[in-house]
Structure 1
Amino acid sequence: MNRPRVALLAASLLLTGCGGGAMASPGHPSGAANAQASTPGISPLASPSPQMSIAAAPLYLPGLGQRTLARIPSAARQAVVVTGRARNSALSTVVVYERTTAGWQAGATWPAHNALKGWSDHHMGGDLRSPIGVFGLTDGGGLLGNPGTRLPYHHAGGFTSPGTGFKGEPLAGSFDYVIAINYNRRPGTSPLDWTRPLGANRGGGIWFHVDHGGPTHGCVSIAENHMKELLRVLDPGLHPVVVMGDATSLDR
């Protein structure tokens, strides 16, 4: 990456999601050789699973209304549901589900932070709200080495998070482990990739990352041990997605 590109990434912290503050590191490619190619978009996902018994399983997920459920692709057999406490709240809960022949089965539940001003169904860069929707989870990475994920993992020095958060808390270590949320990004590339299919004004750099004890710019943050667990649980063969938004919006 050339110097102007690096400078643009560094300056984007206030214009995009949390990942906008990370810098692509020279010597670390923006994509991985084993990443799967996909069509650009908000939430591109793999083709439907041939396992008819799974496809016929009940679709019910606690707290999700019919409109939200309909947005979950039939191929998805893992869903990470992020439920915000309220439209303008920075507090949320994360629950990991896996779809079996008996339906969706709940796994781990963790507390989380989302953006400072809550949620938006039309996220814009710098609005300090997390995007509402259903998005693919295809790529991980971080400043630290692969903790055992089956996702393509992009280990790079560019996952730095300098400065302090909204409560004055240090941000160091926030990007030790991240999972890219496929909002306005190109799947199959490093979370550091700057491509924005919807345009830069629609934000980007929306990740799961390590919690720093306060609200985010747009990402979802959970404790470090939970980030490592989530990375280990996600299986690209199960076409994982995140379903995220405030409780009222998701229950539609």
Structure 2
Amino acid sequence: MITRRTRAVLLAASLVALTGCGAGTASDDRAAATAPAGPSATPVPRTSVQAAPLRIPGLGPRTRAGIPKDSEQAVVVTGEGRNSPDSRVTLYARTERGWEPGAVWPAHNALKGWTDHHRGGDLRSPIGVFGLTDAGGLRPDPGTKLPYDHGSGFTSPGTGFEGEPLAGSFDYVVAINYNRRPGTTPLDWTRPLGADRGGGIWIHVDHGGPTHGCVSVSETHMKRLLRTLDPALHPVVVMGDAASLAR
């Protein structure tokens, strides 16, 4: 037998279902019935979850710590392996959301891969974070904001490790600030760490094979890089094999 109390409960439940307000508990319903209405009601505070700033993927704490706080452009060169001459270049820009990725390009590095302690003639590219402050080339400035030294000193005679011609490799270059004096032409051979630690490490036009220590990308990508880099944004290159960058 359905009592009067049971009928009242069933009626209340059916009204809740019809109005779509079934998310609250019984105590919530009682509180809503007695809460003041209109503008005088106390608003319920809302909490927001702020997303963590975007980081550059693949970089460990040691590598991230090497990026200056005022750097807003990063050219990340990730080698396929410690002893591999193949790598990829990814351009990153720091925004309000963190590091945003841009273009990704195939690249070459040194014949024997990478090293933490580069020495002249070891045929390995240095691992680390280095400034990018100066550019130049055999061909005229393609529109970079970096200081650009245009001259005949940027010649590259001979052939590469795979017999490919090197002509045109230095048509466009960006000096990597490893063992060099920033603020000078890439042709300045001052070596603050000593001549035995090598130098002349550049980003330059790819000639189709491994380098002696530089990073190389296609001519099209080299011109785009030059037009992208802005000294006001304190650009850096972050370079090394993937395992080393993850440290």
TM range (shorter): 0.7 to 0.9
Report the RMSD for the aligned CA atoms in angstroms. Answer: 0.8
CA distance in 1, matches of 2:124, 2:156: 19
CA displacement, residues 182-229 of structure 1 (integer Å, 9 cap, x when unaligned): 000000000000100000000000000000000000000000000000
Determine the structure 2 residue equivalent to 1:127. Answer: 122
Q: Shift in Å at residue 58 of structure 1?
A: 2.5
Structure 1 counterpart SS, 2:110: coil
Q: 2:54–2:97: 8 Å Cα contact kept in structure 1?
A: no
Structure 2 distance, partners of 1:238, 1:61, is 17
**Which has the larger Rg?**
2
Query: C-alpha distance in 2, partners of 1:154/1:215?
Result: 25
TM-score normalised over the length of structure 2: 0.79
1: distance between equivalents of 2:123 and 2:172?
21
1:179 aligns with 2:174: yes
* Map of 1:46 onto structure 2: none
Identity of paired residues, percent?
77
SS of residue matched to 1:249: helix
In structure 1, the partner of 2:63 is 68
With the length of structure 1 as denominator, give the TM-score of the two structures: 0.77
- Provide, for residues 165-189 of structure 1, a one-character-per-residue CA deviation record: whole Å limited to 9, x for no partner: 0000000000000000000000000
> 1:220 aligned to 2:209?
no
How many residues end up aligned between the 2 structures?
196
Confirm or deny that 1:85 pairs with 2:85. Answer: no
In structure 1, which of residues 68, 85, 109 is the aligned counterpart of residue 104 of structure 2? Answer: 109
Structure with greater contact order relative to length (CA < 8 Å, sep ≥ 6) = 1
8 Å CA contact 1:178, 1:208 repeated in 2: yes
3-state DSSP of counterpart to 1:160: coil
SS of the aligned residue for 1:94 comes to strand
Structure 1 residue runs of 4+, over 6 Å off? none
Alignment match, 2:241:
246
Q: Distance in 1 between matches of 2:61 and 2:55?
A: 9
Is the 1:59–1:69 Cα contact (8 Å) retained in structure 2?
Answer: no
Alignment gaps of 5+ in structure 2: 1-51
Distance 1:71 1:150 in 2: 24
Residue 150 of structure 2 aligns to which amino acid in structure 1?
H
Whichever residue aligns with residue 107 of structure 2, its letter is A
Give the drift of 1:59.
5.9
